[in-house]
Structure 1
Amino acid sequence: MKKQKYALVTGGTRGIGFATAALLQSEGYLVTAAYSHEGEDAARAREALPSVRFLRADVTDENAVKELIEGMERLDLLVCNAGVASFAQVQDIGLSEWERVMRVNAGGVFLCCKHAVKKMLHVGEGGAIVNVSSIWGETGGSCESAYSASKGAVIAFTKALAKELAPSKITVNCVAPGVIHTSMNARFTSEELRAMEEDIPVGRMGEPEEIARAILFLGSEPYITGQILGVNGGAHI
């Protein structure tokens, strides 16, 4: 009999996180999707995916993360997707903004991985972690220094953790999306988005479902670990 698999997706009520929760559910996972704020996104997500367990949890709150993961029967796949954007010239970034971005984008990944690993090691059957970084974590983005730094930290953390956990049969990988149709890009005008698309070799922005499929792949392959998979339409080669 095939073993039931359990997955946790953070930032699971919209965009990449929602698409990932939906795909994992369709692939037979029992999915828990965490989110930070009540609102229309959470309500819509619950209605669209009634079989997914949506739970509110702030990934920067260690007690909340610990309670969330300890409440799961087991954990086979962790997807660290929760994140925030920041768009400003460096001279205009306050220390509090820098720390906010790092705390969510890098600190949240650390806390979720820390407690997920405890759960996986306790069960003793290995597991998989997929962190969501960004093309800007690889190349740097103009006027996105805080965001780029936080996503670069996710990449370095992924590689270090992969080495640490390989003997325990826990894989750790990372997807680095390019420009994707999500609310994170809602601040751009249609003209700005068209200009972005002109710089992408395949000629279009990506869709959340395309990132979700990459996450499923990385979470399913036991001989792939420590890798950064760019899903960016050729924007970074």
Structure 2
Amino acid sequence: MDLKGKTVIVTGSSRGIGEAIAEAYAKRGANIVLNARKPIAEEKVAHLESYGVTVKTLLGDVSDFETAKEIVSQAKELFGSVDVLVNNAGITRDKLIMRMDEEDFDATYQVNLKGTFNMIRHALPLMLKQRAGSIINISSVVGETGNTGQANYAASKAGIIGLTKSVAREAATRGITCNAIAPGFIETEMTDVLSEKIQEQMLTQIPLKRFGKAEEVANTAVFLSENSYITGQTISVNGGMYM
């Protein structure tokens, strides 16, 4: 897909990986719909617009089915099409399973997995009508390996991989691709607050001996959108942490 002039929705795009993904698509000339639950800084919008593209912010919680519908509907009304959907919104509620309560599990599932479903459910009919589209779902290495204290997060991210494969099969006849990206440890605000000791422990698990950069995940998303013969795949961006 030639991304110039296309419309890209990126959920959870106020910071970190989502922000980097939005910028990577803007650099390719795509118009961007930013989504988050809280207002996005005006300077971030202005930065994206400096690439000569149109940027709109549509706030809302994608875990709500009707809110997701409204986000997609407004994007279509603003730009006339929805060509790429990147489902990046996600939360963590880390606890050992013996201490995890129902709300910890449900909240994580609602945003990470159901939020991804909600956005696909409303964007896919538009893409089917267009006979073109690219869906990118952000999973996690934890969805492939599991992790102590992250049963809820791991389950939601593993679910995204299964959802991705199913959507890929259903949408392929209309030329629509659906893929997942499973990042490992990426340099973001969340990893910045970890102690030096914990960061060193993490690095022992990574053959490349460094954390990934948000831009490396973002460039993978763009690559998948530009390649119309890759679908149903989970691309690991993890420095060799899981092979």
In the superposition, the TM-score normalised over structure 1's length comes to 0.94
- Cα deviations by residue, 1:25-83 (Å, 9 ceiling, x for unpaired): 01010111101123xx6445234334421221110122221111112220111000000
Whether the 8 Å contact between 2:17 and 2:215 is mirrored in structure 1 is yes
Q: Deviations over 1:167-216 (max 9, x none)?
A: 11110000000001123335521210121112210010001000000111
CA positional deviation for 1:161: 0.9
Q: Return 194-203 or 226-235, whichever deviates more.
A: 194-203
Q: How does 1:61-100 map to 2 (within 5 A)?
A: 61-72=64-75, 73-100=80-107
**1:215-234 maps to which residues of 2 (within 5 A)?**
215-234=221-240
Q: Does 1:48 align with 2:54?
A: no
Other structure's SS at 2:86 match: strand
- Cα separation, 1, equivalents of 2:94 and 2:107: 13
Indicate the larger mover: 108-117 or 60-69: 60-69
Unaligned runs of 5+ in 1: none
1:181 matched to 2:180? The reply is: no
2:111 to 104, 110, 119: 104
- Work out whether residues 3 and 28 of structure 2, in 8 Å CA contact, stay in contact via their aligned partners in 1: no
Instruction: Name the residue aligned to 1:29.
Output: 30
Where 2:109 maps in the other structure, the secondary structure is helix
Alignment correspondent of 1:57: 60
Q: What residue in structure 1 maps to residue 178 of structure 2?
A: 172
- List gaps (5 residues or longer) in structure 2: none
Q: Does 1:140 align with 2:146?
A: yes
> % of aligned pairs identical?
35
1:74, 1:165 → 2: CA distance?
17
Give me the TM-score of the superposition, normalised by structure 2. Answer: 0.91
Q: Measure the CA separation in 2 of the matches of 1:200 and 1:36.
A: 33
